[in-house]
Structure 1
Amino acid sequence: METRRPISHVPALWLVFFLNGAVLASWAPRIPEVKSLLGLSDAALGVALFGVAAGSVPALLGTSRLLRRTGARELCVVSGLAFAGLLPLIAVAWDAVSLGIVLVLLGAASGCLDVAMNTAGIEFQQRTPDRPPVISRLHGGYSLGVLFGAAGGALATNLDAGVLLHFSAVAAVLVALLAVAAPALPRTAPRAPERGAPPGTSGTPVTSGTPGTSGTPGTSMLRSIAALPLAVAAVAISGLLVEGMITDWSALLVSRDFGGGLDLGSATVVAFSVAMFASRSLGDVVVARFGRRAVLRGAACTTAAALVIGLVQPSAVGAFTAVAVVGSALGPVFPLAMTAATERMPHSVSTATACVSAVGYLAYLAGPPLVGVLAEAAGLPTTLGVIGVAAAAAIALATHHLDRTTAAPKGGAEPEGGKG
């Protein structure tokens, strides 16, 4: 049976993560061009960008119900096909409303795929405890997908390729990769509710709202999120808030506000993606050498300094460099929040990862629209600087409490007490 598969389970899952990263990253470098073609203001673009969050949040909450009726493998294929296939519709939008509707559909597909692929990866890892962990490698595929999408967008801009042609080509490539991956994705049964109770709670099992359990899916998710220490949630939210706003707005910042032009603006997203991929790839080594607290504090200080210096100086190249530095500092932040959450909830690891993903993903998607609305009044550089420095300060403050709410990184006993 295995010999009939062109690739094995892990590379197949890696390709799904790659696809998830590539779709919206392909859109980000073309945002300034689409904004100009449609004649949108910063506020109108911000409202349209909110469509991604508006579509993804219900999908994030509702996919757990789907996973009780079908396997994660099937949802990966269906949602991945929809996510990639919907991308070219951005090019046929004619105003802010139609663009927002397309982004709502993309957001829904993205949220469903995000839950499905992480569930597939976690379930595969749990069924193969004798193998090395795979989740980190899979998220590396996501980061490389972001880089592929951003680089393709920059290349398409440099070649003056039309948005429709560019997005159609990206969709065709990603659908082909999904066709290669689909036969080798690990088969899973419909997901059963988790029964482990996170430490520090009253002992009520964390469920996914299945019939016969207490609570609806929405209240179960809120109860699980509420069990997260505040410090862990703050690190996850702050890290992905900055990542989301830099991904969506840095091209416009450099090309328009610093006069760098479309080519340098598109290249800024690529530089940020390269820096994020590299820092996430090296994150485990850096944390082992310097420790979690030092890495998080260094990330917070570097992010704040880079934003302040990069946004007050006048050069487009300086702003480009600042964005790259932020990416190199920010990469390990969200994975460290995920690790801290699983240490806090060792008997319910998948619930912990789902909760951190939910709060972080909401910040990642809600941040860019917030930037658009505030930038209309305060200007884009000021808005990015204020939000970025505030998020960096939140990471630094949360780091002080983080190890009080989690187990020691190297197998120490879980601390008493609870929330930071």
Structure 2
Amino acid sequence: MNDISQSIDSAAAAPTPLVTKERAAVAMLFFLNGLVIGAWAPKIPFFSEALGLSELMLGVMIFAFGVGSLVLMPIAGMQIARHGSRRVVEVTTLLFIPTVVLVTLVDNVWTGAVAIFLFGGLTGAMDVAMNANAVEVERKMRRSIMSSCHAFWSLGGLCGAATGGFVIAALGVIGHVFLLAAVCLVLFLIARPMILPDAPHPSDEPVKANLPMTPLPWLIGLIALFCMIPEGTVLDWSALYLRNELNASTEMSGFAFAAFSFTMAVCRFAGDFVRDRFGAVNTLRFCGVAAILGLVIAGQADSVTVALVGFAITGIGISNMVPIAFSAGGNIPGLAPGVGLSVVTTMGYSGILFAPSLVGLVAEYTSLSTVYTAIPSLLIVVLALSKLARHADRVTGH
């Protein structure tokens, strides 16, 4: 009889098939969000030109995008705690898609500021909701999927950025944005029936729907922050570093972020398998060491080739650190997934949105070589906190 019970329990605990409709749905949501953000990049010059913005004013507008994200992310987390991630991801996606049309049609600075605030805010709100739904899918499947979800976001961003210029040239800015919105709406309508409804968690402690006062989500948020600062620094400053300090050509300077992005995307598709095999704590530690090594190599490089190798290794390291932090944030005992996740995502994305500005200030008085050599000190803190990544393993039975 005990053998029968153990067999039943073992079958119930076994991971589900590698691909399910719920996993496909959340992957499509990540791809959709990335597609819009990628397509936004080639539209920025047109946005600036339409509103007659100086570089300073464009910087303020992009800052408003970041502020919108940081304002609406916690609100989304609280709504997820009350209504579940499925309902919130449906609402935020339907509100998010029109905002990319709105930022294209505005014709003055004030409406532009409102539009880009909403665009950034709903980007962030959808981000929290789709990450929360990915946590729910992980729970149901009893296997890691977060890294591959983020890989689909990267793939969407690549598709949006790579096709945006060509489509704008062929159809114009207005034609491009309406085609983009139509594609996104179709993707959403395909995904919507398959989105996983939030399952009850009767074994969990009672959840809290307000911002948490316990330190755990904030410490996991610190991990996300210190992982995303290097990512933002590579994104915004690597090309300038190669060009100004290593004398790279304009064509070669763009390869720094390309090398970083390529290895990060590949390793994110492999990251779920690695995490399920070795556990979140060990995976985070390996990634942290790789990122530290890559950044030091890039910062101390005496040639463009060595720097590119360093940035590629950094991509391997950074790839799965943030997905692990997000999974951990969505599985904190006693907190609704959306609440813990909103803290972690808000702190993490602030690293990409605001830290690169501080990097510019530091680089003004030192050098970007010094910056890339010093930033690994943040990842040493991540390694010190790496045991907290064990919460990411609650979904996979470790």
Report the TM-score when normalising by structure 1. 0.68
Indicate if the aligned counterparts of 1:15 and 1:177 stay in contact, CA closer than 8 A. Answer: no
2:380 paired residue among 393, 402, 409: 393
Instruction: Find the partner of 2:221 among 188, 209, 233.
Output: 233
1:147 equivalent to 2:158? Answer yes
Is the counterpart of residue 79 in structure 1 residue 90 in structure 2? no
Q: In the TM superposition, what is the alpha-carbon distance from 1:78 to its structure 2 partner?
A: 2.4
Relative to 1, partners in 2 of residues 1:103 and 1:246: Cα closer, same or farther, differing over 3 Å?
farther
**1:339-354 superposed matches below 5 A:** 339-341=327-329, 344-345=332-333, 348-354=336-342
User: Is 1:19 matched with 2:6?
Assistant: no
The answer to whether residue 324 in structure 2 is matched with residue 336 in structure 1 is yes
CA deviations on 1:301-351 (whole Å, 9 max, x unpaired) are 332232222233343343333222211111111222234445652774454
Q: Is the 8 A contact 2:288 2:321 kept in 1?
A: no
Q: Are 2:179 and 1:185 equivalent residues in the alignment? A: no
Among 295, 305, 309, the alignment partner of 1:321 is: 309
In the aligned structure 1, how far is the partner of 2:390 from the partner of 2:78?
34
CA distance in 1, matches of 2:300, 2:112: 33
**CA 1:380/1:317 → structure 2, altered by over 3 Å: closer, same or farther?**
same
- Mapping 1:133-212, distance limit 5 Å: 137-152=148-163, 156=165, 169=176, 172-173=179-180, 175-182=182-189, 184-186=191-193, 205-208=206-209
Change (3 A) 1:124 1:326: closer
Q: Is the 8 A contact 1:25 1:150 kept in 2?
A: yes
Cα 1:172/1:369, change in 2 over 3 Å: farther
CA contact (8 A) 1:47 1:373 kept: no
Shift, 1:185, TM fit: 0.6
CA shift for structure 1 position 110: 1.0
Per the alignment, in what secondary structure is the counterpart of residue 313 of structure 1? coil
2:129 to 116, 121, 125: 116
Count of paired positions: 374
3-state SS of 2:217 partner: coil
Moved more, 282-291 or 25-34: 25-34
1:173-226 CA-to-partner distances (Å, cap 9, x unmatched) read: 35413334325413889999999876xxxxxx4433xxxxxxxxxxx22436x3
Q: Hey, what does 2:260 align to over in structure 1? A: 272
> Which secondary structure state, in structure 1, belongs to the residue aligned with residue 193 of structure 2?
coil
Does the CA-based 8 Å contact 2:295-2:376 persist in structure 1? yes
The answer to whether the 8 Å contact 2:291/2:318 transfers is yes
Q: Relative to total residues, which structure has the larger helix share, 1 or 2? A: 2
Q: 1:299 to 1:109 in 2, by over 3 A?
A: same
2:347 is the alignment partner of 1:359:
yes
Partner of 2:273: 285
For 1:229 and 1:80, locate their aligned partners in 2 and report how far apart those are by CA, in whole Å.
27
Matched, 1:53 2:66: yes
Q: In 2, distance between residues paired with 1:13 and 1:332?
A: 18
Tell me whether 1:402 sits opposite 2:397 in the alignment: no
Per-residue deviation at 1:391?
2.0
- Letter matched to residue 382 of structure 2: I
- Where 1:310 maps in the other structure, the secondary structure is helix
**Mapping 1:245-256, distance limit 5 Å:** 245-256=233-244
- Structure 1 residues 384, 151: closer, same or farther in 2, change over 3 A? farther
What displacement does 1:56 show?
Answer: 0.6
Paired amino acid for 2:71: P
Is the 2:138–2:395 contact (alpha carbons within 8 Å) kept by the matching residues of 1? no
Alignment partner of 1:223 out of 196, 213, 220:
213
Q: Deviations over 1:35-74 (max 9, x none)?
A: 9x97748xx8765543332111111123356666893354
CA contact (8 A) 1:342 1:352 kept: yes
Corresponding letter in the other structure for 2:385: A
Q: Deviations over 1:243-301 (max 9, x none)?
A: 23322333443355544344334443333222111111112333455554443333223
Q: Which amino acid aligns with 1:207?
A: K
Q: Residues 23 and 390 from structure 1, CA distance in 2 versus in 1: closer, same or farther, beyond 3 angstroms?
A: farther
**CA 61–352 in structure 1, closer or farther in 2 if over 3 Å, else same:** closer
CA distance in 2, matches of 1:29, 1:381: 29
Determine the C-alpha separation between the residues in 2 that align with 1:29 and 1:321.
Answer: 27
Whether the 8 Å CA contact 1:75–1:116 is kept in 2: the answer is no
Change in 2 beyond 3 A, CA 1:13/1:313: closer
Give the corresponding residue for 2:251. 263
How big is the alpha-carbon RMSD for the aligned residues of Structure 1 and Structure 2? 4.7
Change (3 A) 1:13 1:191: closer
Q: 1:234 to 1:267 in 2, by over 3 A?
A: same
Q: Give the aligned residue type for 1:138.
A: C
Q: Give SS of 2:227's match.
A: helix
Q: Deviations 1:333-382 (Å, cap 9, x if unpaired)?
A: 12222344456527744544343223222323222333234334444443
CA contact 2:78–2:338 (8 Å) conserved in 1:
no
Distance 1:338 1:74, change over 3 A: closer
Unaligned stretches of 5+ in structure 1? 1-7, 199-204, 209-219, 413-420
